[in-house]
């Protein structure tokens, strides 16, 4: 294993001390996982190259992998250990922050075996490698990461069992999204997994839950006395959750054409973030209790029905346009997309949580590809003052206060409020109190995949989706998907929007007819 690295690069390139050597950060030091190994299926793929291997390398650099840790990559493609290492090296170099010495050491723990998922005898290469490498290194513990297209999840889960890959210790299965494509298929996959695994062994990943600032929603709400008394229908007018991407469908059209934005972003990321913003405080910050509270929000979601769907949902698909001055083509002209594709790349949705705290408070959710700016944020928009003292001196009412929890691209918390403007006797202005999330923090930060891989090795399921949560979010969304995909006269229309905009005009109308506006990325914020 490498020595702990003591320096991290700050965004401006300056060296900074990591949390491991900074006593002030010691309460936040990460726990080292027990001895284990990882078998990654789909190891020749994009996710492994772009996210998982860089995440493991970062954990290695931070001395957060167990001492004898090793990875066996597996996929159908024939590759040797050396070619797998060479591919990994290329992707780590491309990601930047590459250290020759550390790589030389890390690469020794990478192996590759090819496999045909339906043929159980073909797992013998993986089994042989495990038998050879595991003694003295993994204590029989293994994380199996399913990073393949979902069609083969069930097959692989069986292959692991029938070819005897499970060791003498614990076995955990990380399942990538999408977990099913509707309620029925998700429940079928769940039952299939339950024939060989119990819920404790299944880690359904939603990488948004691993993002620092998504986790921070709970810290901000429940570690401070000042927000929670206001966090309810008496003081909050509405909540907005926006996840705007500038990227298009990239090379994932095969998957995306079937999924669309509702399956891709809403069933998982958007609803999970909403759960954190809306949930009740658990009595203790403990995995099952936090997951219980997230699930209760999903259970309280008011279902849509055919009659009101158009008041609650707008879907769109990007047309050609420009982002940051560069031309981008129409979704239907992307490689692998049908010329008459009806797949939505944008959705705006108005939701209600039918419980005591949130009765009557709308949650507006919006996500789309090829939008003007990349940003993800939760906005808590408070109600206005009950009585304006300043009405005679002002042209209009002062706007409402807002708390903005920005997750991307810059992680920050902002509070918008009014102060007296210096000068004129009665003159108000809107100001922003701004807290950049990593201000004064020089320690290590883990990105979503780093956090989640570490948590799985530690057996901490708080940031993973439990089966009841998965089923409830599919149950809510399947009704919506059916209403769209049945294509009846009541089905929501698919509106075209210009790439580089914030979605179709109808999405503005959805919120404006309630007398409200979307809060976009503040152009002068960052």
Residue ranges binding ligand BG6 (CB under 6 A): 177, 245, 247, 264, 376, 408
Nearest residue (CB) to ligand BG6, 269 versus 291: 269
Least distance CB 417 / ligand BG6 (angstroms): 29
Nearest residue (CB) to ligand BG6, 130 versus 261: 261
- Residues 445 and 336: their CA atoms lie apart, in Å, by 37
Picked from ligand NDP, ligand BG6, none, the partner binding residue 245 (CB below 5 to 8 A depending on kind) is ligand BG6
Least distance CB 442 / ligand NDP (angstroms): 30
Picked from ligand NDP, ligand BG6, none, the partner binding residue 150 (CB below 5 to 8 A depending on kind) is ligand NDP
Least distance CB 157 / ligand BG6 (angstroms): 21
Retrieve residue 237's tokens.
């007018």
Q: Which residues bind ligand NDP (CB under 6 A)?
A: 42, 44-47, 75-77, 117, 147-152, 176-178, 255
Q: Which one from 238, 269, 312, 418 is the annotated catalytic residue?
A: 269
- Residues 85 and 71: their CA atoms lie apart, in Å, by 11
Quickly list DSSP for 428-473.
Answer: EEEEEEEEETTTT--S----HHHHHHHHHHHT--TTSB-HHHHHHH
Give the length of the chain: 526
Least distance CB 77 / ligand NDP (angstroms): 3
What does the H/E/C string look like for 206-265?
CHHHHCHHHHHHHHHHHCCCCCHHHCCCCCEEEEEEEEECCCCCCCCHHHHHHHHHHHHH
Q: Tell me the three state secondary structure of residue 505.
A: helix
Catalytic residue list contains 269: yes
Nearest residue (CB) to ligand NDP, 143 versus 402: 143
Nearest residue (CB) to ligand NDP, 45 versus 167: 45
- Cα 359 from chain centroid (whole Å): 27
Picked from ligand NDP, ligand BG6, none, the partner binding residue 170 (CB below 5 to 8 A depending on kind) is none
**Among all residues, whose Cβ is closest to ligand BG6?**
264
Contact at 8 Å (CB) between 275 and 299? no
**Among all residues, whose Cβ is closest to ligand NDP?**
45
Least distance CB 436 / ligand NDP (angstroms): 27
Q: Tell me the three state secondary structure of residue 199.
A: helix
Quickly list DSSP for 36-75.
Answer: -EEEEETTTSHHIIIIIHHHHHHHHHTT-S-TT--EEEEE
Picked from ligand BG6, ligand NDP, none, the partner binding residue 368 (CB below 5 to 8 A depending on kind) is none
Nearest residue (CB) to ligand NDP, 142 versus 147: 147
Output b/e per residue, 290-315; b: 16+ Cβ within 10 A. bbbbbbbbbebbeebeeeebbebbbb
Give the catalytic positions in this structure: 269
């Amino acid at each position: 294993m490498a020595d702990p690295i003591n320096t991290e690069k700050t965004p401006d390139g300056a060296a900074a001390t990591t949390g491991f050597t900074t006593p002030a950060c010691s309460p936040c030091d990460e726990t080292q996982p027990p001895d284990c190994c990882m078998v990654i299926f789909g190891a020749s793929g994009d996710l492994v190259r772009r996210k998982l291997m860089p995440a493991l390398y970062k954990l290695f650099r931070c001395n957060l992998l167990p001492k004898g840790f090793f990875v066996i990559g597996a996929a159908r493609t024939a590759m040797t250990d050396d070619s797998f290492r060479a591919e990994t090296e290329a992707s780590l170099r491309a990601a930047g922050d590459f250290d020759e010495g550390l790589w030389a050491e890390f690469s020794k723990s990478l192996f590759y075996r090819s496999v045909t998922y339906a043929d159980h005898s073909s797992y013998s290469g993986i089994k042989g490698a495990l038998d050879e490498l595991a003694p003295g290194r993994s204590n029989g513990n293994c994380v199996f990461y399913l990073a393949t297209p979902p069609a083969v999840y069930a097959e692989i889960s069986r292959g692991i069992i029938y070819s005897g890959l499970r060791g003498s210790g614990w076995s955990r299965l990380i399942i990538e999204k999408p977990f099913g494509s509707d309620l029925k298929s998700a429940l079928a996959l769940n039952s299939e997994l339950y024939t060989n695994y119990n819920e404790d062994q299944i880690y359904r990943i939603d990488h948004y839950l691993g993002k620092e600032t998504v986790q921070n929603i709970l810290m901000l709400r429940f570690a401070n006395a000042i927000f929670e008394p206001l966090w309810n229908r008496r003081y909050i007018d509405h909540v907005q959750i926006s996840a705007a991407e500038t990227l298009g469908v990239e090379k994932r059209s095969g998957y995306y054409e079937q999924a669309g934005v509702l399956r891709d972003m809403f069933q998982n990321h958007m609803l999970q973030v909403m759960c954190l913003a809306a949930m009740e405080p658990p009595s203790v910050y403990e995995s099952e209790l936090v997951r219980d509270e997230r699930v209760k929000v999903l259970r309280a979601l008011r279902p849509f029905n055919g009659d009101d769907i158009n008041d609650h949902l707008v879907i769109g698909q990007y047309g050609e346009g420009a982002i940051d001055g560069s031309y981008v083509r129409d979704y239907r002209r992307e490689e692998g997309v049908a010329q008459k594709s009806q797949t939505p790349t944008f959705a705006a949705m108005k939701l209600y949580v039918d419980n005591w705290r949130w009765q009557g408070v709308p949650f507006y959710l919006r996500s789309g590809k090829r939008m003007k700016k990349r940003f993800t944020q939760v906005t808590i928009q408070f109600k206005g003052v009950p009585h304006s003292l300043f009405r005679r001196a002002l042209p209009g009412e002062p706007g409402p206060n807002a708390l903005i929890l920005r997750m991307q691209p810059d992680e920050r918390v902002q509070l918008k409020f009014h102060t007296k403007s210096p000068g004129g006797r009665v003159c108000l202005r809107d100001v922003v109190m701004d807290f950049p999330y990593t201000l004064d923090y020089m320690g290590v930060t883990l990105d979503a995949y780093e956090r989640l891989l570490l948590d799985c090795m530690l057996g901490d399921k708080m940031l993973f989706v439990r089966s009841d949560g998965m089923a409830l979010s599919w149950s809510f969304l399947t009704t919506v998907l059916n209403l769209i995909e049945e294509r009846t006269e009541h089905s929501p229309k698919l509106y075209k929007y210009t790439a580089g905009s914030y979605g179709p005009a109808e999405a503005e109308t959805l919120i404006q007819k309630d007398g409200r506006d979307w809060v976009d990325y503040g152009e002068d914020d960052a």
